[in-house]
Amino acid sequence: METLYTWGLELIHRVQAWRSPALDLAFRSITFLGNEGFYLLILPLLYWCIEARLGFRLGLLFFVSGYLNLALKELLAQPRPADLEQGINLIKETGYGLPSGHAQSAVVLWGFLAYAGKKRWLWAPAAALMVLIGFSRVYLGVHFPTDVLGGWLIGAVLLGAAVLILHFTAGRRARLPRWAWLIAASLLAAGGIAVLPSKDTVSMIAAFWGFVAGYLLLSGTAAADTPGSILQRLLRFPAGLVVLLGLYLGLKALLPAEGQPLYLLFRFVRYALIGFWAGYGAPWLFRLLGLARRSVSR
């Protein structure tokens, strides 16, 4: 492994030899496309403004991918470049390195969108984003090349599994009632936290549970599947985002900080409310504001 790390550090130095202020800014911007803040924007945008079912499916895949990434990092416990050579990282990152969450999420997100778009040409920009986001992690010195390769591989496996599941379930109706799906999601959430009770997994699983609960509740109401004009769709995003950011930032300031008693419990509540707002609260707000119209049929 030491030889592999030495090779990785040498490659990072060779990449960073081309550094310039313009490239630093470019790759910092590109790497943002894999940050939590970006997904906090793109997933609600798809769910609220494009198509709820597409956003829900992608959201589920994203949460599964995120949890698996965190679990593998804890299991493999591989260092980041800065753990072996201080100052090589251009931005600050914490936690283990393998697999790269940015590279894995890039394959899952952009690959799924290219598949859902049903246009072959979409795969070209999707592949370009996958490569650029992964390469940005090496350029910024926060991942070894092997971390990025591992993230790409796991993301491809998850994407392939999702495509196969959608292919074999196309046109079939779910036979279980909504409350059964909610119980199943609750059991998965409890099991996931029991296996890996860290702050990152708690927030990931809480958002997953709240989002699923919101979608299941929404799917049985008149607020579900409500199309609208282009202007209405555009106005939904800022309307829903104001409350979402209020929950994200406001509750962070109000609830106990890390290290205080019941921190993980309140963190779960915070992210569950964020997920529930995204899945259920915001679509109802759009109906109240006249930004979505009632569907003719459900």
pLDDT in tens, the chain (298 residues): 668 888 899 999 999 999 999 999 999 999 999 888 899 889 999 999 998 889 999 999 999 999 999 999 999 999 999 999 999 999 999 899 999 999 999 999 999 999 999 899 999 999 999 999 999 999 999 999 999 999 999 999 999 999 999 888 876 766 778 888 889 989 989 999 999 888 889 999 999 999 999 999 887 664 555 567 888 889 999 999 999 999 988 988 888 877 787 888 999 999 999 999 999 999 999 988 888 765 544 4
**What is residue 220's predicted lDDT score, i.e. its pLDDT?**
63
CB 54 within 8 A of CB 144: no
The whole-angstrom separation of Cα 195 and Cα 215 is 25
- Which residues make Cβ contacts (< 8 Å) with residue 278, sequence separation at least 6? 43, 44, 47, 48, 210, 211, 214, 240, 244
Q: Identify the DSSP state of 55.
A: H
Question: Would you list the domain boundaries of the chain?
Answer: 1-172, 180-298
In Å, what is the CA distance from 198 to each residue of 133, 195, 276? 26, 9, 21
